[in-house]
Chains A and B, each alone.
Chain A
Amino acid sequence: MTAVTAPAGAAPAAGHPLADTYYLTGRKLHALVRQPYVLAFSVIQPAIWLFLFGELFHKVIDIPGFAFHGSFLAYLVPGVVAMNAMSNNMWAGMGMLEEIERGTLNRLLVTPASRIAIMNAGVAEQAVGTVVQTLIIVFLGLAGGARYPGGALGVLILAIAAAAVGILWGALSNVAGMLLRSREAIIGVYTFFMLPLMFLSSAFMQPGFMPGWMQAIASRNPLNWEVQVGRSALSATPDWGGIGVRLGGLVVLAIIAVAISVTTFRSYARNA
């Protein structure tokens, strides 16, 4: 059979992962730009946490041995950024389910579009959305009186770490969505992880004040890595070694999570 070649007059080669990623990311970002209030509204909850906790616990900073130079609000910013990155991207699977139910995903799957590009577009959307929200939170902190001695470089590193956390949870949420095909399951994953991971980190409290077992968990909690990376990068004296190790860890985890989601997606695509 020789008909495996494309017919005369057919379109030029499509299915290139980079070109497809570009077009499909464009679709996602277009939707994001068209509804900027969605992005803004989703920051309201973390902003409330920021100022509520900042006010409620502002005296924490005076506890002997708290060892943080700055206001408690400034201490909270990386924690709230982490919380926002995690909580917003944990809903990624909902969007995935919607695209499955609406038939959009199948429509893309019957085009020559690269499978990886379809998932890449989601990753890019999560990264961009998370960075924008991170900057909003940083700015809100600034407006509330928090200062960041680490400057623009510190904010950049905080944003990269937040994007990695966002991609990590976005990918896991997509996997949950594709495998379990239920919104309840995604909500379940969210409620199971969200608060424990937040409080088993240095987001609100210095690890030195935690009991030993909590410290042990916190040091292995990727969300806490993000908080530590951000806080150190925003400080006057960043610990670059620690930042490098933890940021590296976050990036590796994000890559692994995306790889799992791509594998899950491929198996979905074989039996859509």
Chain B
Amino acid sequence: MPDEPAVEARGLVKTYPLPGGGKKGRLRALDGLDLTVARGAIAALVGPNGAGKSTTVKILTSLARPDEGSARVAGVDVLAAPAVVRRLIGVVGQRSGADPSATGRENLILQAHLFGLPATEARRRADELLERFALADAAGRFVKGYSGGMQRRLDVALGLVHRPRILFLDEPTTGLDPQARAALWQEISRLAAHEQLTVVLTTHYLEEADRLADAVAVIDDGKVVAEGTPAELKERARARTLDDVYLHYAGRRFDMAEVTRA
């Protein structure tokens, strides 16, 4: 099925119990979210905090199960065959998952082993990725001594060890300095262009979405409220920048949220 989308989510609903909310007080994190990502695309999920971006990524990467709805990732039903999906995707979480008390190389080799790579291949793959992400000099150092940018590059390398078809990046550049951010952007574009990797990323930086993404989905209140290429979105909202698009679709919520929370 060459034309099957990389990601196809239909009607995702996810609720979480609210602390102190009792039986009725459940937070509706996703409220019937639909999302399609074409193969080989870089798709950006943007939206305010709590809009449901991370929950969507968690469901698509088998870390959480939706209350309702269905999701296919790389053509495989995530709910029916999560173990199969895990082999086909790479995931870089919001927080660095690397083991700080191990070296960069050790982290990569362990990851490779967990994906079933034999010892020699695991070492070769680790060195290859260390080289590519400019971590070769730091390969034998403990990760706790890495800078934020180095840690993030290692996180992405960890997500790529097993040559996934789809790479999920949850806020990959949050907390990075502009230089490190630009370097990561470059690497992500390169991955999508040269390795036919589909990339799904969440971000707070509209500039990032504009620069990187072929497709942007604006998520608000647990739903996709607008989607298209950055150009299409700008045109539709009669906006000059993606920031304006964002405010156009998701902006109201800020005022309302302040009011209801008060």
| Interface, chain A (partner B; CB < 8 A) | 1, 3-4, 6-7, 9-15, 19-20, 23-24, 26-27, 30-31, 34-35, 101-104, 106-113, 269-272
Contact = CB atoms under 8 A, between A and B. Distances in A.
Nearest to A6: B87
Contacts of B110: 23-24, 26-27
B84 A10 contact: no
Chain B residues touching A, majority SS:
loop
A-B interface, 9 closest residue pairs, ranked by CB to CB distance from nearest: A107-B97, A14-B116, A103-B95, A3-B75, A11-B116, A103-B97, A272-B63, A110-B91, A111-B114
Contact of A106 (B76, B97, B111, B118): B97
B86 interface: yes
B101 A34 contact: yes
A245 to B, nearest CB: 40
A28 to B, nearest CB: 10
How extensive is the interface on chain B, given as a class? 35 or more
Contacts of A104: 97-99
Contacts, number: 109
Given A271-B65, A272-B63, A102 B95 contact: yes
B158 A15 contact: no
Given A35-B101, A111-B115, 15 more contacts: A3-B74, A3-B75, A4-B84, A11-B115, A12-B118, A13-B116, A14-B116, A26-B110, A31-B99, A102-B100, A110-B93, A111-B114, A112-B116, A113-B114, A269-B63
A110 B89 contact: yes
A194 to B, nearest CB: 27
B27 interface: no
Given A7-B88, A10-B87, A111-B86, A23 B97 contact: no
Contacts of B62: 109-110
B117 to A, nearest CB: 5
Contacts of B158: 107
B58 A112 contact: no
A106 B96 CA distance: 10
